[in-house]
Amino acid sequence: MSEHIGTLKERSLHAAVKQWYSSPGDELEKRVAGYVVDIVRNDESVDCDRPLLIEIQTRNFTPLKRKLDKLTEEYAVRLVHPIAKEKWIVRVAADGETQIGRRKSPKRGTVAHLFDQLVSIPELVNRDLFSVEVLLIQEEEVRCHDGKGSWRHPEWTRSDRRLLKVVERQLFKGSSDFLQFVPPDIVRPFTNKQLARVGKYSVALATKITYCLKKMGVLDVVGKDRNAQLFSDRI
């Protein structure tokens, strides 16, 4: 597990995913419609006579909102988002190189954690030329003992994320693809708490799922149970 894909520089996860995802003939870091795009690919499988534009985003989707909104007016755009299915925490000294320790994090990401970021751009899913692909990965998170961390962990700074392996991928091409996150056996209508229980999500994640599905137009609020909204599939 000591070897990893990509480089050890800042934002190496983004660089490594771009390297892993790109194919021969792709153009990297190309300017299109005034924006620099990670990967430009001529893809015959896309229902568009223009190239497929591939954007890789490892964190918050909000900074990409305007860019994606503009590009999807004319181009097929795929947003690729890596989520750590397994993570190892690597601690290094202030020099950024000397390893102090390495342990496996108990946290495990799933495809459903896409909604943590999708809440920023749920309406874009309804664009015919827009798709989202999730990569479940194994990664290392590097923390540097430099005394410049957050108020919660002032001694440690999260300095890097390293790609170890891509273990699974899933592509979403339209709003109906996201209905899989509502378990088929859940009794309709349902609340966020009921979705969390049946789907084995946290309540916070279930709330993000219903919010996104409402914005996508595949879920409706059909009433209330006390103060809790009731949701059901849009007919």
Give the model's pLDDT for residue 49: 76
Give the pLDDT confidence of 68-117 residue by residue, as tens digits. 999 999 999 999 999 999 999 999 999 888 999 999 999 999 999 999 99
Beta-strand pair 76-92/52-56: parallel
Q: State residue 159's pLDDT score.
A: 84
Can you give the pLDDT at residue 48? 63
Q: Whole-angstrom Cα distance, residue 186 to residue 171?
A: 24
CATH of 181-235, one of 3.40.50.800, 2.60.120.960, 2.60.120.1440, 1.10.10.10: 1.10.10.10
In the chain, CATH 1.10.10.10 sits at: 181-235
pLDDT at 170: 98
CB atoms within 10 A of CB 181: 20
Model pLDDT, residue 10: 37
Task: Note the pLDDT of residue 44.
Answer: 57
Structure tokens of 147? 């005394």
pLDDT at site 11: 82
pLDDT of residue 3: 41
How many whole angstroms separate alpha carbon 122 and alpha carbon 118? 6
pLDDT at 146: 87
Instruction: List, for the chain, all residue ranges whose pLDDT scores fall below the cut of 50.
Output: 1-10
Interval 22-31: pLDDT, tens: 999 999 999 9
